[in-house]
Structure 1
Amino acid sequence: MSVVVASRRAALLIATAGIFLLTQSHAQAQWWKRAPIDFEECADIAEKAATKAEKTSALADCNAKFAGRRKPGGGYTYYDFLQDRTFDIAGPNPTPEEQRKIDEAYTAYLANRRRSNEAAQATARQQREQQEQQVQQLQRVALRTEAERVPVPVERPKVQQAAGQRPKGAPCTKGSFSCEWPRLSESLNDLKRLFNPTPSKPAKKG
């Protein structure tokens, strides 16, 4: 926490360094008769400066001397530009205790912002993983669909048997050529034998 507070105070010093440079020329000579008690009273006196340059320098001096601003109902507020928020304080400048609370709030602010960044990164990483999973699922579906579209090779048809031949064991359909041809062939053979009798063999001589 000490490192955070030191860096925070360093940033505040850098922000106010320019203001101190503008008011350095007026450090020796006080242009008011009575020291103002807060920024608003100091600014009222600065408005009465003789020249515009003196007015600008006086307002810068007021801003460097008083960190708080008056509240309408009483008390003061302190704006911390590092946290972009205001804090209620009792006087025109934060007391050491009030400054400690402001520093603690700044430490908590940094921790919350770090957790928010980590949560945002985790959410983004989870979304990327979900998108990658969806893409992979779509690719698998596309490949499966493409595989279903490829035609399955059809078995090559067997060569038809010669006309007039009937497969062994196949049922014979009455009237079909394959069924009647064997009987017709046998009848033709009988007619051939009737008209062309086989000559008898000569008897063997004793």
Structure 2
Amino acid sequence: MAAIAGCFVLAPSRAHAQWWSRAPADFEECADAAEKAATKEAKASLLAGCNAKFAGRRKPGGGYVYFDFMQNRSFDIAGPNPTREEQKRIDEQYTAYLDNERRSSIAAAFTAKQQQQQQVQQAAFETGNEKAEKAPVTTRSVAKPVTKPQAAAPKVRPRAKIENCAEHSFSCDWPRLSEGLNDLKKLFSPPPSKAKRG
């Protein structure tokens, strides 16, 4: 019983102590109090507590601003922390932001794919043009009437020089004369026809 009575006695004194020491109203007051800390470590710890306790920052003209790093955007809020309605509005804006980002990334991927396809088509077109430039140009010729091929004129071959031959002797001139006769034969005789298989 004595312990319970002691708790009741001590509880009001603690509440009374918080009442006369005023807590900071916003981040700026909290940060000002943290600046008075004795050590760097204590100051850093108090500033971290201020960041955790207050989301908004005081604006010079009055009111507060909340910076949402996920959207990289600031929102005006009424107090040092967003109310439920303000947090709901910020969350709705974040959902819209994500939708826009998704649409933008889909559009960017689609555009990149189209550009890649155009580059492939352009490369294929240029390759085709290079092949066409290298290929001989063929023109359609008008059909000509078929005529018998004319025999080529006999070729005049230089006279073989035979050793120990007297000039204008029959034995020396015979090979040349024989070649000339063969050429005349070819000129006047028709080409051999192929036998039809049937």
Say yes or no: does 1:56 pair with 2:44. Answer: yes
* Letter of the structure 1 residue corresponding to residue 36 of structure 2: K
Say yes or no: does 1:160 pair with 2:179. Answer: no
Larger radius of gyration: 1
The C-alpha deviation readout for 1:120-149, integer Å capped at 9, x for no partner, is 111111111111111111122222222226
1:118 matched to which residue of 2? 106
Runs of 4+ in 1 over 4 A off after TM superposition: none
The C-alpha deviation readout for 1:73-113, integer Å capped at 9, x for no partner, is 10000011111111110000000000001101111111111
1:89 matched to which residue of 2? 77
Alpha carbons of structure 1 residues 159 and 88: separation in structure 2 relative to 1, 3 Å: same
Q: TM-score, normalised by structure 2?
A: 0.59
Say yes or no: does 1:134 pair with 2:122. Answer: yes
The C-alpha deviation readout for 1:21-40, integer Å capped at 9, x for no partner, is xxxxxxxxx8x931111000
Tell me the number of residue pairs that the alignment of Structure 1 and Structure 2 aligns.
129
Q: TM-score, normalised by structure 1?
A: 0.56
Cα offset, 1:63, TM superposition: 1.1
2:30 matched to which residue of 1? 42
Fraction of identical pairs, as percent: 61
The partner residue of 2:92 within 91, 98, 104 is 104
Alpha carbons of structure 1 residues 157 and 83: separation in structure 2 relative to 1, 3 Å: farther
Q: What's the secondary structure of 1:92's corresponding residue?
A: coil
Separation of aligned partners in 1, 2:21 and 2:83: 26
Separation of aligned partners in 2, 1:36 and 1:131: 62
The C-alpha deviation readout for 1:148-173, integer Å capped at 9, x for no partner, is 269xxxxx9741279xxxxxxxxxxx
Separation of aligned partners in 1, 2:39 and 2:120: 68
Separation of aligned partners in 1, 2:150 and 2:103: 73
Separation of aligned partners in 2, 1:52 and 1:132: 61
2:59 matched to which residue of 1? 71
Cα offset, 1:54, TM superposition: 2.1
Unaligned runs of 5+ in 1: 1-29, 151-155, 163-206
Cα offset, 1:51, TM superposition: 2.8
Q: What's the secondary structure of 2:21's corresponding residue?
A: coil
Unaligned runs of 5+ in 2: 1-17, 139-148, 156-198
More contact order relative to length (CA 8 Å, sep ≥ 6): 1
- CA-based RMSD: 2.7
Alpha carbons of structure 1 residues 142 and 90: separation in structure 2 relative to 1, 3 Å: same
